[in-house]
């Protein structure tokens, strides 16, 4: 897979357990235990609207002290680098110039947007559901 190609040729939907394993690794920089993987997968299966289920599980992650997210000041210090790293981290591809322009404008007009909110939006996005 070429990380620089548009959408990086992703065409397979992640299973619930693949999605959870990968998002956990992205947010905590470590692997999820197999027990927790089974438990979280069951939780997601128990709620029909997967967008709602994912949002609840991810926001539960965000309440953990162990989640690794850049500070907001670090994010604002160099938005270009933050965006490039976020695209690589979640989408495994380079950001396009159109995407960069959208986000830079968005950050400028929404000064209270935090790194956590950006990470949530990437983790909940449809592209992130595919590999």
Partner 1 sequence: MKRRSFLKKSSLASTAAISIPFILPSGRLFAASGMRMADHVVLVAFAGGVRQQESILQRYLDDSQSYPSAGNILYNLFDGSAPTDKIVYGTNNIINGDTPIPKILSQTIQNQGTTFREVNASAVGHYAGVNAMLTGNYMYTQGLRNKPTMPTIFEYLRRHQGEKATKTWFVGNGIGNSIPLLDYSTHADYGASYGANFLAPTITFGSDGEKHLKNAKVYHPEDELDPMYKMKYFLDNVWYSQGKALPNIGNTEEEKAEIKQFVKDMFDKTQAGTIAHPPVSDNGDLSTIGYACEVMQRFKPTLTVIYLSNVDGCHSNFTSYLGSLHRADHGVGHIWDYIQNNIPQMANNTTMMVIPEHGRNLDSNNIEDGNAFSGYDHSDANSRRIFSSIVGPGIDSNLSIGNENNQVGDIVNLTPTIAEILGCKDDVVNSGLVASSKSLFDLI
Instruction: Give residues in contact with partner 1 (CB under 8 A).
Output: 6-7, 10-11, 13, 36, 39-40, 42-43, 45-52, 55-57, 59-60, 62-63, 96, 98-99, 102-103, 106, 110, 112-113, 117-118, 120-122, 124-127, 129-130
What count of residues does the chain have?
131
User: d(Cα 102, Cα 122) in Å, to the nearest integer?
Assistant: 14
The least distance separating partner 1 from the CB of residue 78, rounded to whole angstroms, comes to 18
User: d(Cα 3, Cα 47) in Å, to the nearest integer?
Assistant: 33
Shorter beta-carbon distance to partner 1: residue 60 or 71: 60
Shorter beta-carbon distance to partner 1: residue 29 or 64: 64
Query: Beta-carbon neighbour count of residue 85 at 10 Å?
Result: 14
Shorter beta-carbon distance to partner 1: residue 4 or 63: 63
The least distance separating partner 1 from the CB of residue 69, rounded to whole angstroms, comes to 13
The least distance separating partner 1 from the CB of residue 23, rounded to whole angstroms, comes to 13
User: d(Cα 123, Cα 2) in Å, to the nearest integer?
Assistant: 21
User: d(Cα 37, Cα 21) in Å, to the nearest integer?
Assistant: 7
């Amino acid at each position: 897979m070429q990380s620089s190609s548009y959408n990086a040729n992703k065409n397979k939907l992640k299973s619930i357990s693949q999605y959870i394993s990968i998002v956990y690794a992205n947010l905590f920089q470590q692997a999820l235990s197999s027990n927790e993987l089974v438990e979280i997968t069951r939780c997601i299966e128990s709620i029909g609207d997967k967008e709602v289920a994912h949002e609840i599980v991810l926001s539960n992650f965000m309440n953990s002290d162990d989640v690794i997210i850049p500070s907001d000041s670090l994010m604002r210090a160099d938005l270009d680098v933050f965006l490039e790293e976020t695209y690589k981290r979640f989408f495994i591809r380079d950001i396009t110039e159109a995407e960069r322009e959208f986000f830079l404008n968005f950050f400028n007009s929404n000064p209270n947007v935090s790194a956590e909110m950006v990470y949530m939006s990437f983790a909940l996005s449809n592209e992130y559901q595919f590999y």
